[in-house]
Amino acid sequence: MSDEESTFKKIFKDWRVMVMMALIIFSLLSIYVIPPAFDKGIEGNLQLGLDLQGGSWIQISFQSEVARFSSDNMSASEVAEALSNEIGADVIVVSNDQVEIRKYYTEEELRQIFNDIGVKMVSYEQGVSKDTAEDIKRILEDKVNNLGTQDAKINTLSGINDVTSYIRVELAGTDINTAQDLVSSQGKFEIRIITEGNKTEHVLYGDSVTSVSTPSQSPAGSQNWGVGFTLDEVGAEAFREAAIKYGAVDDPKNHNLVMLLDGNVVYSAPLSDTLANKLMSGTVRDLSASTGTGEDALEEAQLLEIHLRAGALPVDVSIAGSGSVPAELGEYFKIVCIVAAILALIAVGITIYFRYREPSIVLPMMLTNVSEIIILLGIARYIQQLDLASIAGLIAVIGTGIDQLVVITDEVLHEGKVPSPNVYLKRFKRALGIITVSACTTIFAMLPLAMMDLSTLKGFAIITILGVLVGVIITRPAYGKIIMAILSKKPSK
């Protein structure tokens, strides 16, 4: 067996190297094969943010405020009840001395209202409590996910007092008008029935809708798109009574069912003959709203599904800011990022070559660095959207990764020679100790940014932390074994 064959055998039989190779293969499969994405270009299945794909962002504020109060004779629940009766709006207890008023008032107006009920207002902050913000975020996530917008980011922007003032929604691949319509919609869903002329009567609200199916063609095999939904018992009874009372079961064509979102009609159609006959004999809980045939009908069905599912936001919102990145600019940013990453790798390769002037050292370093980036992208494909800040994190990982490989190489080599195996392993463990301490400091420094909802900074921090963990746990130990096997042919010290 030749020296080269023996060296390769040593490398690929080591379990650390086998783990690294397995993760590289898994990452490539995740990016390009699961599911197949060869037609999507170099990015494959990676989730690209609006910086790289084009899209829109919306920042919304809340018509609500959180106030802290002081009272000697009223509890928080009593204060909330008194305020609700005074202003005719929902008031939620946040803590023993804090309430959330779900209606907009200036600080002066609200202070006077507190005085009217005999309570002193201590502080005022426009926004919502942390729990309400999470509810709003969940509802918005339901909306964008049901639209099929996978590349969406929703971040709450909160202060140190846990009052959320804004929510920022980023929708990659979505134009600004669609984004505004989707985000600003209050989701207050209602079904009414036409009585005479253009007059309508209330039938039920969205809280009677218990489940909604995805758009489908019904009956199976037809070209007719529709959305199925289910009513609770109360809603089904109200639906039947209204259909009979206003003549929809006898004359469906002149008594359309009208669905409204925030007072705007989102769907209008008569009862089918089959449904009208069923309602004559009893309640019907499983219904379907037909939108017609073709691509436009499918889009209408998708939007109707969102309206049926979303429910009502707990507070009114307004758009505080918005913007968009054209698709052409996103494509330009994508090319720039690829070029920047390639140039970074080339610069790193030249630097370490001039340091060691030994291809048997430079090549394993560069391959290990590239392997680390591939593994990192494979992990990020499942958990992190890639925007400009995330790409900056990837490029930073290239530099910090080489730094740590240099530490390992300098530690195990002495005067350009490889020591005996025992001495090598001691020096290698010492180098890993140094790298681990350095990695911990980086992780601790990035954790605050990763945990805060600071939009782009969060992506940078997450990618940096992932890169450090992949390096310390996987690629650094593998590199140590690779470099030991390759350089063991050199004369020992």
DSSP-derived letter for residue 417 is B
- C-alpha 439/C-alpha 472 separation (Å) is 7
Could you tell me the CATH number of the domain that includes residue 209? 3.30.1360.200
Note whether 467 and 348 are same-domain residues: yes
Judged against a pLDDT cut of 60, whether residue 111 lies above it is answered with: yes
Question: Is residue 144 a contact partner of residue 55, using CB atoms and an 8 Å limit?
Answer: no
Task: Name the phi and psi angles at 248, rounded to 5.
Answer: -70, -30
Look at residues 279, 312, 345 and tell me which one is the last residue of a structural domain.
312
Question: Is residue 150 a contact partner of residue 45, using CB atoms and an 8 Å limit?
Answer: no
- C-alpha 108/C-alpha 381 separation (Å) is 49
Note whether 44 and 96 are same-domain residues: no
Judged against a pLDDT cut of 60, whether residue 493 lies above it is answered with: no
Note whether 18 and 41 are same-domain residues: yes
Look at residues 271, 290, 312 and tell me which one is the last residue of a structural domain.
312
Note whether 342 and 453 are same-domain residues: yes
Q: In this structure, how many other beta carbons lie within 10 angstroms of the beta carbon of residue 42?
A: 9
Judged against a pLDDT cut of 90, whether residue 267 lies above it is answered with: no
Q: Which residues are bridge partners to 351 per DSSP?
A: none
Q: Which residues are bridge partners to 260 per DSSP?
A: 190, 265
Residues near 281 by Cβ (< 8 Å), separated by ≥ 6? none
Judged against a pLDDT cut of 80, whether residue 331 lies above it is answered with: no
Q: Could you tell me the two tokens for 153? A: 């980011």
Total count of domains within the chain: 3
Note whether 27 and 102 are same-domain residues: no
Question: Is residue 165 a contact partner of residue 62, using CB atoms and an 8 Å limit?
Answer: yes
Most confident residue range from 37-46, 284-293, 322-331? 284-293
DSSP-derived letter for residue 43 is G
DSSP-derived letter for residue 93 is E
Percent of the chain beyond pLDDT 70? 86
Query: Would you say residue 58 lies in a domain?
Result: no
Note whether 82 and 111 are same-domain residues: yes
Residue 24 pLDDT level (bands cut at 50, 70, 90) = very high
Look at residues 114, 131, 148 and tell me which one is the last residue of a structural domain.
131
Note whether 430 and 333 are same-domain residues: yes
Q: What integer best gives the mean pLDDT of the chain?
A: 80
Judged against a pLDDT cut of 60, whether residue 492 lies above it is answered with: no
Residue 160 pLDDT level (bands cut at 50, 70, 90) = low
Note whether 330 and 470 are same-domain residues: yes
Residue the block writes with tokens 């003032």: 165
Task: Name the phi and psi angles at 284, rounded to 5.
Answer: -130, 120
Sign (positive/negative) of CA torsion 383, 386, 391, 393? negative
DSSP E strand boundaries for 12-140: 55-62, 65-70, 91-95, 98-101, 120-126
Percent of the chain beyond pLDDT 90? 2
Rounded mean pLDDT of 221-241? Answer: 83
- C-alpha 194/C-alpha 253 separation (Å) is 10
Query: Would you say residue 182 lies in a domain?
Result: no
Note whether 99 and 244 are same-domain residues: no
What pLDDT was estimated at residue 148? Answer: 53
Taking Cα atoms as reference points, which of 422, 420, 423, 410 lies closest to residue 491? 420
Most confident residue range from 44-53, 59-68, 310-319? 59-68
Note whether 343 and 463 are same-domain residues: yes
Rounded mean pLDDT of 302-331? Answer: 72
Query: Would you say residue 159 lies in a domain?
Result: no
Residues near 237 by Cβ (< 8 Å), separated by ≥ 6? 283
Query: Would you say residue 40 lies in a domain?
Result: yes
Judged against a pLDDT cut of 80, whether residue 180 lies above it is answered with: no
- C-alpha 51/C-alpha 365 separation (Å) is 31
Strand-pair category, 257-261 with 189-194:
antiparallel
Answer with the residue of higher pLDDT: 103 or 299.
103
In 284-326, which residue ranges form alpha helices assigned H by DSSP? 294-310
Judged against a pLDDT cut of 60, whether residue 114 lies above it is answered with: yes
End-to-end CA distance of the chain: 25
pLDDT tens digits for range 340-373 = 888 888 888 888 888 888 888 888 888 998 999 9
Rounded mean pLDDT of 261-276? Answer: 80
What pLDDT was estimated at residue 455? Answer: 58
Taking Cα atoms as reference points, which of 315, 313, 341, 306 lies closest to residue 152? 306
Rounded mean pLDDT of 53-62? Answer: 79
Judged against a pLDDT cut of 60, whether residue 146 lies above it is answered with: no
Range of the domain at 415: 3-51+326-487
Query: Would you say residue 39 lies in a domain?
Result: yes
Note whether 334 and 463 are same-domain residues: yes
Judged against a pLDDT cut of 60, whether residue 3 lies above it is answered with: no
Judged against a pLDDT cut of 90, whether residue 25 lies above it is answered with: yes
Residues near 2 by Cβ (< 8 Å), separated by ≥ 6? none
Least confident of 118-127, 283-292, 472-481: 283-292
Judged against a pLDDT cut of 80, whether residue 138 lies above it is answered with: no
Query: Would you say residue 297 lies in a domain?
Result: yes
The DSSP annotation for 155-222 comes to: EEEE-TTS-EEEEEEEEET--HHHHHHHHH----EEEEEE-STT-EEEEEEGGGEEEEPPPEESSTTS
Question: Is residue 257 a contact partner of residue 268, using CB atoms and an 8 Å limit?
Answer: yes
What pLDDT was estimated at residue 375? Answer: 92
Residues near 440 by Cβ (< 8 Å), separated by ≥ 6? none
Could you tell me the CATH number of the domain that includes residue 454? 1.20.1640.10
Query: Would you say residue 179 lies in a domain?
Result: no
Judged against a pLDDT cut of 60, whether residue 311 lies above it is answered with: no
- C-alpha 299/C-alpha 304 separation (Å) is 9
Residues near 319 by Cβ (< 8 Å), separated by ≥ 6? 58, 59, 60, 61, 180, 183, 184
Note whether 348 and 442 are same-domain residues: yes
